Amino acid sequence: MFRYLPLLLIFFFQPGNAQEQMLQGTITNGEAPLEAAHILNLSKSLQTISDGEGYFAISAAVSDTIVLSYLGFQNVIFTVDESLLDGEDLHLVMKENGIELGEVTLEYNRALDPVALGLINKRPEKLSTNERKLKEAGDFKAVQLLGILGGSVPIIPMLNKITGRTKRLKRRVAVENENNLKEYLHRNYDDFLNRELGLEKEWTDRFLYYAVVNGSWNDIYPNGNKEQFRFRLIQLYHQYTASMEEGTDLSIPGELPPASGNQ
């Protein structure tokens, strides 16, 4: 009989994830179903989207945090309890974000520029001081050495490459861009982090440093909408808290200075 004891122990001491069930239901705006709404299990790092009927299903357990987001609508955040896992479909209603139109001013005799006249496709790119210096320094590539045969090797870019000036300028531009992104997130999403995610203000700067350094922002910064930024911040916040629980030291003093105005 004792040889069956390990099997009995395994049966009675299953890990907690055995209690996970499917949380399912429909998402509407109160009148019609919302298709392609994002559903994120923040606690399990799982996500899905609703179908054409607004229906969704996602694995969840008691105490998991669920986030619903949809373009043009307010996020819905709630904690799963036993009553939500009783097998009954949920009926979740999302509210639209109110859009207040500002004052409209009609402008006459608007000054024409080369873009308006169709002479060029877009306005010249505005460069920061460091970006301008980097552009002037050039970015020498090894393949350009083939120009020796024709006597057309770009000397200045090659010297900047050898002396490390190009590398230093690239780092300055990278740090400048990181600081600009961090200030942008501070300015526009401090209240969201505090109100929706419960992040205390004294931890906001530290989290945003992590988000800037570890997140991928090229696809939404600076022209993405608020829902895209909020969803990205929610994903990074989950990664951040998971790293904290694992004991990872997320602070790297001096690498990225705090955003001005948030000291």
Which tokens in the block code for residue 76? Answer: 């819905």
Same domain for 202 and 144? yes
Same domain for 64 and 165? no
Same domain for 78 and 151? no
Asked, for residue 122, whether it belongs to a domain, the answer is: no
Cα–Cα distance measured from residue 253 to residue 151, given in angstroms and rounded to the nearest whole number:
47
> pLDDT band for position 79 (50/70/90)?
very high
The pLDDT of residue 30? 92
Asked, for residue 102, whether it belongs to a domain, the answer is: no
- 177 lies in which domain range? 129-245
CATH number at residue 66: 2.60.40.1120
User: Residue 121, CB half-sphere, CA atoms under 13 Å: how many?
Assistant: 0
Q: How many CB atoms lie within 10 A of CB 246?
A: 7
Quick: pLDDT tens for 6-24.
444 444 444 445 478 899 9
Asked, for residue 104, whether it belongs to a domain, the answer is: no
What's the number of domains the chain is made of? 2
Dihedral over alpha carbons 117, 119, 120, 126 (to 10 degrees): -60
Distance of CA 131 to the CA centre of its chain: 24
Asked, for residue 238, whether it belongs to a domain, the answer is: yes
Q: Please say if the pLDDT value at position 184 is more than 60.
A: yes
Most confidently predicted of 12-16, 91-95, 161-165 = 91-95
Same domain for 158 and 210? yes
The pLDDT of residue 136? 62
| Full-model pTM | 0.46
> pLDDT band for position 200 (50/70/90)?
confident
**Angstrom distances, CA of residue 158 to CA of 109, 131, 170, 180, 184:** 49, 18, 15, 30, 36
Average pLDDT score over residue span 94-105 = 71
Q: Which of 65, 93, 121 is the endpoint of a domain? A: 93
CA angle 261, 127, 186 (to 5 degrees): 25
- Element at 150 (helix H, strand E): none
- Element at 132 (helix H, strand E): helix 129-137
Cα–Cα distance measured from residue 159 to residue 140, given in angstroms and rounded to the nearest whole number:
9
Q: Spell out where the chain has E strands.
A: 21-28, 38-41, 46-49, 55-60, 65-69, 76-79, 90-93
Which tokens in the block code for residue 103? Answer: 């004052």
**Angstrom distances, CA of residue 2 to CA of 5, 6, 8, 9:** 5, 8, 10, 11
Asked, for residue 255, whether it belongs to a domain, the answer is: no
Which tokens in the block code for residue 236? Answer: 């990074």
